[in-house]
Structure 1
Amino acid sequence: MTTARSLELFLPDDVATTRLGEDLALALKAGDVLLLDGDLGAGKTTLARGLIRALAGDPAHEVPSPTFTLVQSYDTPLPVHHFDLYRLSSPDELEELGFDEAIGSGVALVEWPQRAADAMPATSLRIALDHEGEGRRVTITGTGTTFDRVARSLAMREFLAACGWGEARRARFVGDASARAYETVTRDRSKPLVLMNSPRLVLGPPVRDGKPYAEIAHTAQSVVAFVGIDRALAAGGVSVPGIVAQDLDRGFLLLEHLGTGAFLDPDGRPIAERYAAAAELLAMIHGKHWNDRLEAAPGVVHHVPPFDRDALMIEVDLLVDWYVPAVTGAPPSDALRDGYHAAWNTVFGRLADKQYGLVLRDYHSPNIIWRGDRQGHDRLGIVDFQDALIGPVAYDVASLAMDARVTVPEDIERGTVDAYVAARHAAGSFDEAEFREAYAIMAAQRNSKILGIFVRLDRRDGKPQYLQHLPRIRDYLGRALAHPALADLRDFYRKNRLLEEFA
């Protein structure tokens, strides 16, 4: 049996109670159930109101008491259902109130849960409020991931307090495909900042040679990587978030807010001039020498890993591991896998350590902020680079010009690549033919990987929305394989149905 854990806080007034509701809201996910215990006037409704308003993103959102209706539901980005069971006649009435459906679709807040104690999920988080002097004492008890998320959110509030931002308002900003999440924090007369929550990477099971995937692919394992690369890029003339405060042990950063300027047009389509500008910034970055030992704090160094053969191969293996079974309805044969490895090893051999440098790795529209009121490279704010490696720089150009989440027409792709090539020529000696071959190789590598990732997100993680991107990625892969240097690889893909549509 799992032992329950608990933590306590003292809340001096209603403002602090509302703030706790905000902190709780930012930790919640669909399926969470919060049981609010306390006497009349202990602050249950104040806490619930703060939580609901935080989920709604509106501090003035109307939150009526559910005392007489028994349940009040809110169509917030994460739906929340506020139950008051004080007038419940029987626990059987919970079914009529749609309690199970509420949990399935969002979050449930339950006041007076003791009226139906046996019907409450074992994973519920219990929040007990007791009067203490002019304020109230709160005890939060629970098990599992809900408790862990709430405890981390409260630790983030502690971090903000240590930075002088303890009374700031927090709001969801953006998340990404990893465990990282971002919030905006605001307070009177100050520019908003970004709070990064970057827990240490949880390594999965071994997949090859006793190592987990993340270790072979050199995925950043802690926030130290972000800090080290951020400081190096800033010193090198790249507009990245300034670091206001950091807690490397817990994985919290307070960052400059670079703005919300969209890199794409209002309809989500690429703008040729902006892609060209982003390519020119890449050319500047790739033309510099970067150390592979970057200081994140005194005595704390991030070693930038290499984009080596093992990392390149483990990524393209995602196509065989996930996309092939989805297309063919059967796992890949040993012959297919061996032939696939042989074809890719031949292609990777052509890279031969040429045009290597700092590869940001996630250089595409979601991670680029357009700041049109600025000049030159400063027009582009770059916000995601912690997984950077030292490797073939053409990978970043392919990431940009064949943007995985945006349909980039072939003319804009060509214009983007041409802008990069022109900028590299202008900066000095540059082997264009060598680069264009490397671009085709890395574009094929990246898009093969993404086909596998998007199927994995559907099959393993229950996120079917990623399947809509597959036709675009197949088109990009076909463009890359059209390069004469990849003729043998292209033939292998065609022979083994690796470019066929997902059924």
Structure 2
Amino acid sequence: MSDREALRLDFLRSAGLADAARAPLPGDASTRRYERLTTPSGASLMLMDQAPTAESRPCDPSWTPEQRYAHGWNAIARLSAGRIEAFAAVAAHLKSLGLSAPEIVAVDAPNGLAVIEDFGDALFARVIADGADPAPLYRAAVEALAVLHAAPTPGVLTGPAGDWPLLTYDQTALQGGADLFVDWLPKLIPALSFDDAAVAEWRAAWAPITAAGEAGAAVMAHRDYHAENLIRLDGQTGAASVGMIDFQDAVKAHPSWDLHSLLQDARRDVAPELEALALDHYFALRPETDREAFMAAYAGLAALNEARILGIFARLIARDGKPRYVAFMPRMWAHLNANLQAPGLEAVAAWMDRHVPEEVRR
């Protein structure tokens, strides 16, 4: 038995769940793992396992950009390092707003373990694939974001595992994410080569977008808000019908972030008509929003996120031996190419034209 398994068993025993049946769930692109627990009475719960030693340190709010780069990826861009404390604190905040986050049944933050409420398997992506009309689901997801965006955004969140800082998705984090593209695309596609001058041009091209993203950071962002992290909850309506999971990387960000994550999904197609309807619904719910300025940020930050995700997919394929992510890249290229037509992105589009052949960008 591994030391980690011994910790899990001790934790389950202390939570009164020693007799629960355990069924591992398929893994994702993270170091986190889940098990479904079924108690002798038939109740279903989830065991979340995020070993702190599997990740580098979270970002300290006092660190300078130089210190963040010295401490590695989580300090640069992921910020929370996926910690259990962050999940518990974000869950408490969401629930305080009437939104649906899992109840924390038991938690051992120092060892990265928690037992949480099981929202079931009705992921938006799954029920849509099974024939559900996506429009009501996306409408409810937008309503949940409108509730979140209308609420004050605290600098420190309080949850059952202690306080947790809600850090800003700032220029350092945004540019760090974008840089995954220049770091990892050449490792997947050896014909690509970006010298120091090209990387400097890349960063200069993104500077106005990252500056606008930091300046507009005003709301809590789930940061991974898409159809595989949202669960349809029966018996609920409106915003409360959207069960949210995997929000441990939440940050203070521009309100467009979760919208473009939802509507320009890396893993499934969202019809342009549905994207337009969802955006219209958001602006109807948030009539004080300057739509033109919002959509400029939406295009810029969506493009940056798509470059970031292409870099992540390249890393997953080239470094981690996960070729299934090849299938997702054409969708991301299509979104990126479309967003690069928007005003304000001319410098990034020109960089792409100079450094990335058209046959790669599809």
Query: Structure 2 length normalisation: TM-score?
Result: 0.90
**Matched-pair contact (CA < 8 Å) for 2:306–2:332:** yes
Aligned to 1:347: 209
Aligned to 2:191: 329
CA distance in structure 1 between the partners assigned to 2:187 and 2:5 by the alignment: 39
Aligned to 2:92: 231
Match of 2:47 among 190, 195, 202: 195
- Structure in which a larger fraction of residues adopt strand: 1
Matched residue type, 1:218: R
Aligned to 2:329: 470
User: Any idea what the Cα deviations from partners look like across 1:3-50, whole Å, max 9, x if unmatched?
Assistant: xxxxxxxxxxxxxxxxxxxxxxxxxxxxxxxxxxxxxxxxxxxxxxxx
Question: SS where residue 365 of structure 1 aligns?
Answer: coil
Is the alpha carbon distance of 1:156 and 1:283 closer, same or farther for their aligned partners in structure 2, counting shifts above 3 Å? same
Aligned to 2:116: 255
**Matched-pair contact (CA < 8 Å) for 1:269–1:407:** no
Identity %: 32
Q: Where does 1:367-446 land on structure 2 (aligned, <5 Å)?
A: 367-425=229-287, 429-446=288-305
User: Any idea what the Cα deviations from partners look like across 1:145-204, whole Å, max 9, x if unmatched?
Assistant: xxxxx3212321221111111111111134332111111111232421111111114229
Shift of 1:432: 1.2
CA distance in structure 2 between the partners assigned to 1:401 and 1:293 by the alignment: 29
Shift of 1:209: 4.2
Is the alpha carbon distance of 1:479 and 1:297 closer, same or farther for their aligned partners in structure 2, counting shifts above 3 Å? same
Is the alpha carbon distance of 1:498 and 1:381 closer, same or farther for their aligned partners in structure 2, counting shifts above 3 Å? farther
Aligned to 1:307: 169
CA distance in structure 2 between the partners assigned to 1:163 and 1:326 by the alignment: 45
Aligned to 2:76: 216
**Matching of residue 454 in structure 1 with residue 307 in structure 2:** no
CA distance in structure 1 between the partners assigned to 2:358 and 2:155 by the alignment: 37
CA distance in structure 1 between the partners assigned to 2:345 and 2:187 by the alignment: 24
CA distance in structure 1 between the partners assigned to 2:151 and 2:124 by the alignment: 25
Q: Write out the 4+ residue segments of structure 1 that deviate beyond 4 Å after TM superposition.
A: 206-209, 267-270
Q: Over aligned residue pairs, what C-alpha RMSD do you find?
A: 2.3
**Matching of residue 244 in structure 1 with residue 105 in structure 2:** yes
**Matched-pair contact (CA < 8 Å) for 1:195–1:254:** yes
Greater C-alpha radius of gyration: 1
Shift of 1:311: 0.3
Aligned to 1:157: 9
Is the alpha carbon distance of 1:343 and 1:396 closer, same or farther for their aligned partners in structure 2, counting shifts above 3 Å? same
- The structure whose RCO (Cα within 8 Å, separation 6+) is larger is 2
Question: SS where residue 307 of structure 1 aligns?
Answer: coil
The answer for unaligned runs of 5 or more in structure 2 is 58-65
Aligned to 1:495: 354
**Matched-pair contact (CA < 8 Å) for 2:220–2:251:** yes
CA distance in structure 2 between the partners assigned to 1:396 and 1:498 by the alignment: 30
User: Any idea what the Cα deviations from partners look like across 1:89-115, whole Å, max 9, x if unmatched?
Assistant: xxxxxxxxxxxxxxxxxxxxxxxxxxx
**Matched-pair contact (CA < 8 Å) for 1:207–1:213:** no
Shift of 1:461: 0.5
Shift of 1:249: 1.2
- Structure in which a larger fraction of residues adopt helix: 2
CA distance in structure 2 between the partners assigned to 1:499 and 1:178 by the alignment: 31
Aligned to 1:94: none
Shift of 1:498: 6.5
Question: SS where residue 195 of structure 1 aligns?
Answer: strand
**Matched-pair contact (CA < 8 Å) for 1:217–1:311:** yes
Question: SS where residue 210 of structure 1 aligns?
Answer: helix
Aligned to 1:178: 30
Is the alpha carbon distance of 1:478 and 1:176 closer, same or farther for their aligned partners in structure 2, counting shifts above 3 Å? same
Mean Cα deviation higher: 355-364 or 258-267: 258-267
Query: Structure 1 length normalisation: TM-score?
Result: 0.66
The answer for unaligned runs of 5 or more in structure 1 is 1-139, 141-149
Matched residue type, 2:71: K
Aligned to 2:156: 293
Is the alpha carbon distance of 1:441 and 1:162 closer, same or farther for their aligned partners in structure 2, counting shifts above 3 Å? same
Shift of 1:212: 0.6
Is the alpha carbon distance of 1:180 and 1:341 closer, same or farther for their aligned partners in structure 2, counting shifts above 3 Å? same
Q: Where does 1:7-18 land on structure 2 (aligned, <5 Å)?
A: none
Mean Cα deviation higher: 383-392 or 321-330: 321-330
CA distance in structure 1 between the partners assigned to 2:305 and 2:277 by the alignment: 20
Shift of 1:355: 5.6
CA distance in structure 1 between the partners assigned to 2:298 and 2:194 by the alignment: 28
Matched residue type, 1:275: Y
CA distance in structure 1 between the partners assigned to 2:173 and 2:217 by the alignment: 17
User: Any idea what the Cα deviations from partners look like across 1:110-130, whole Å, max 9, x if unmatched?
Assistant: xxxxxxxxxxxxxxxxxxxxx
**Matched-pair contact (CA < 8 Å) for 1:327–1:502:** no
